Amino acid sequence: MTEQTHEIRLNVNGVEHEAAVPARRLLSDALRHDLGLTGTHVGCEHGVCGACTVLVDGQPMRSCLMFAVSAAGHEITTVEGLARPDGELGPVQQAFRECHGLQCGFCTPGFLTTITAGIAENPDPTEDEARDMVAGNLCRCTGYQNIVKAVCRAAELARADEDGAA
């Protein structure tokens, strides 16, 4: 049996991509294999680890729990889309570097996307709120302390951006 493919258009990081995928292609695999955007990582493939988290219309979602065909028509942001337009690190990336929020980096793309949406919703999180923000993401290396610090620092950097822009 040959499997039917669907022609889809995916808007990722503001760029329209076309791909022909079988219905069962997970969004995470479409990003990595069909579009070559390997920043999105795949750990557990059943929604538990959070490594594959991307933003769908600005909200963090598991790309391993969505089919690429279902994602057509939505705006997807992956970790590749978090840098500033001039290529400098975005606030969450900058904060991870300053606070040593990563070690091996496997979990990092999922944390960066989750936190980007988290501080957009809550621009001044307490430490507890920062902890809750990342509670759905697993990291095997860091012990989370520096990730929580990075959330607070990222919020600070993002607020400074806002003030600068205003």
Partner 1 sequence: MKPAPFDYVRPGSLEEALQALAGHPGAKVLAGGQSLVPLLSMRLAAPAVLVDINDLPDLDHVRVSADGVRIGALARHAAVLRDPDVARVQPLVPLALANVAHATIRNRGTTVGSLVHADAAAEMPMVLRLLDGSLDVAGPGGRRTIPVAELYVGPLESSLHHDEIAVEAFFPALAPHTGVAFEEIARRHGDYAMCGVAAVVTLDGDRVVQARAGYLSVSDVPAVIDLTDALGGEVTEASLAAAADAALEQLEPETDIHATADYRAHLARVLTARVVTAAHENAREARS
Helix (H, G, I), strand (E, B) or coil at 125: coil
Residue 45 amino acid letter: E
Alpha-carbon distances of 100 from 94, 141, 142, rounded to whole Å: 10, 11, 9
Contact in structure between 145 and 96 (CB atoms under 8 Å): no
Residue of the chain from 10, 49, 115, 133 that contacts partner 1 (CB under 8 A): 133
Please state, in angstroms and rounded to a whole number, the distance separating the CA atoms of residues 120 and 97.
20
Is 61 a residue that touches partner 1 (CB under 8 A)?
yes
Is 15 a residue that touches partner 1 (CB under 8 A)?
no
Is 165 a residue that touches partner 1 (CB under 8 A)?
no
Query: Could you list the residues that contact ligand FAD (CB under 6 A)?
Result: 47-48
Query: Could you list the residues that contact ligand FES (CB under 6 A)?
Result: 42-45, 47-52, 62, 64, 102-107, 139-142
Is 83 a residue that touches partner 1 (CB under 8 A)?
no
Instruction: Select from ligand FES, partner 1, ligand FAD, none the partner in contact with residue 114, using the beta carbon and a kind-dependent cut-off of 5 to 8 Å.
Output: partner 1
Please state, in angstroms and rounded to a whole number, the distance separating the CA atoms of residues 143 and 17.
37
Taking the complex as a whole, the smallest distance from the CB of residue 50 to ligand FES amounts, in Å, to 5
Taking the complex as a whole, the smallest distance from the CB of residue 110 to ligand FES amounts, in Å, to 7
Strand order in the sheet with 5-12: 15-22, 5-12, 75-77, 53-56, 59-62
Nearer to partner 1, 124 or 161 (CB): 124
Is 128 a residue that touches partner 1 (CB under 8 A)?
no
